[in-house]
Structure 1
């Protein structure tokens, strides 16, 4: 397993293990792949995630944009992924109860204070776009975490910490 995927999976497990929002909302989310700058994951829409119409609740989708955006930052070696400053979601099609959805998050820009991510949710069965979003995070403090790591360009190996 590539170092970037291993690290991102550890960050996801840290999100889940505190027993808070991520664990309660989408504890069965799985990290499928990760390379520096992007992450891919999946989950099956469960009963506690749907609205009264039987489709994925918009708030859960927005939360997934938040979490997958954060995980995309972890693919670049950030253990703490900062705090949200802005989230936007566009809903294209309904994801129904029992449907598997794929999520892909990517870092589209990163500076010394802010990072910008874009997330897409598609149907695993049809490949059709279900929703997309953007997520901006303040990362000033996250960049200082002693738990941060560095990867080679492909994310295969963890590099030594800089002195």
Structure 2
């Protein structure tokens, strides 16, 4: 039996953390504009932030064999990570300067498998509530080529002051 081995490499810039003087939307817009490098996880898993506006964040990610689980489909953790990223950033777009967030609960519902030939997945998230200490958001993960729903999810985030 002959085994063909594939490889994939990526690189990343040192991470830039949000400044206490920038709103969440300003920080994410600077990332989109290329003024701030993307977080390392984006290169590791092959997804990127493509759009932000108040209360909304959109990511796109390419599917590939390097994301396969033992069953030969895209690992559910990839879906969960795309959802978590978009959900958190949707919350972040509504945070004023000096505030940060962290995910405290993530609910993921996978409705169909994706494969390397599925192509680009698009995750659109909307912040539903952003308060002083708690925020919630919901998102949908769909195929760009086929328009099908692959997963959907919700988050609850803790909101807190950025440590100075």
What does 1:1-163 align with in structure 2 at a 5 Å threshold?
6-7=29-30, 9=32, 16=39, 19=40, 21-24=41-44, 26=45, 28-77=46-95, 81-98=100-117, 99-141=119-161, 144=162
2:116 match: secondary structure: coil
Measure how far apart 1:94 and its partner are. Answer: 1.0
2:74 match: secondary structure: coil
- Cα RMSD (Å): 2.8
Query: Any conservation in 1 of the 2:61–2:121 contact (CA below 8 Å)?
Result: yes
**95-104 vs 73-82, which deviates more?**
73-82
Q: Which residue of the partner structure matches residue 160 of structure 1?
A: none
Measure how far apart 1:129 and its partner are. Answer: 0.6
Q: Tell me the TM-score normalised to structure 2 length.
A: 0.70
CA distance in 2, matches of 1:61, 1:81: 24
Q: Specify every segment of 5 or more residues in structure 1 that has no aligned partner in the other structure, as ranges.
A: 147-163
Flag the structure with larger Rg.
Answer: 2
1:140 match: secondary structure: strand
Q: Specify every segment of 5 or more residues in structure 2 that has no aligned partner in the other structure, as ranges.
A: 1-24
Q: Tell me the TM-score normalised to structure 1 length.
A: 0.71
Measure how far apart 1:105 and its partner are. Answer: 0.9
